[in-house]
C-alpha cells in the first residue's frame, strides 16, 4: 500500500509523486504577505490615531520609521526559511544518513 503522507515514508512518497518546491515556496510567500499586511494595517491604524489626536507630523513619520521594518521582515523571513532548512538538512544528513539534496529539504 502506497503511503499517503510524506511523514511516514518520505523517500517512497516523493519517488512515486515527484518533488516540487512550488507549494512550499507559495506557503512561505503567503506567510510573508500575511505578516507584511498585518504590519501595514497596524501602521495605517497608528497613523490614523495619531492624526485624529492632532499629531499630524508624527502621523507622517510613521511610514518613515515603519517602511524599513516591512522590508526587513520580508528579508528575515526568507533568510530564516533557508537557515532553518539548512539546519534540518545537516541534522538529517548526520543523524539519519539522509542522501537527499538541499532543495528537497528546503
Please give the mean pLDDT across all residues of the chain. 82
Q: What is the pLDDT of residue 21?
A: 77
- Containing 34, the helix (H) or strand (E) segment is helix 22-52
Q: Per-residue pLDDT for 1 more than 70?
A: no
Q: Which three cell numbers stand for residue 54?
A: 492632532
Does the residue 39 lie in any domain? yes
pTM above 0.85, yes or no: no
Does the residue 8 lie in any domain? no
Average pLDDT of span 17-28: 81
Does the residue 43 lie in any domain? yes
Does the residue 13 lie in any domain? no
Residue 58 has what DSSP assignment?
H
The parent domain of residue 62 ranges over 23-105
The CB density around residue 92, as the number of other CB atoms within 10 Å, is 16
Amino acid at each position: 500500500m502506497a503511503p499517503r503522507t510524506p511523514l511516514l515514508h518520505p523517500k517512497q512518497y516523493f519517488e512515486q509523486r515527484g518533488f516540487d518546491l512550488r507549494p512550499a515556496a507559495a506557503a512561505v510567500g503567503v506567510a510573508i504577505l500575511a505578516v507584511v499586511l498585518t504590519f501595514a494595517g497596524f501602521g495605517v491604524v497608528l497613523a490614523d490615531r495619531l492624526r485624529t489626536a492632532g499629531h499630524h507630523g508624527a502621523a507622517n513619520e510613521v511610514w518613515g520609521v515603519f517602511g524599513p521594518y516591512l522590508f526587513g521582515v520580508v528579508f528575515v523571513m526568507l533568510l530564516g526559511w533557508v537557515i532553518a532548512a539548512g539546519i534540518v538538512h545537516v541534522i538529517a544528513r548526520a543523524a539519519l544518513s539522509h542522501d537527499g539534496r538541499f532543495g528537497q529539504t528546503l
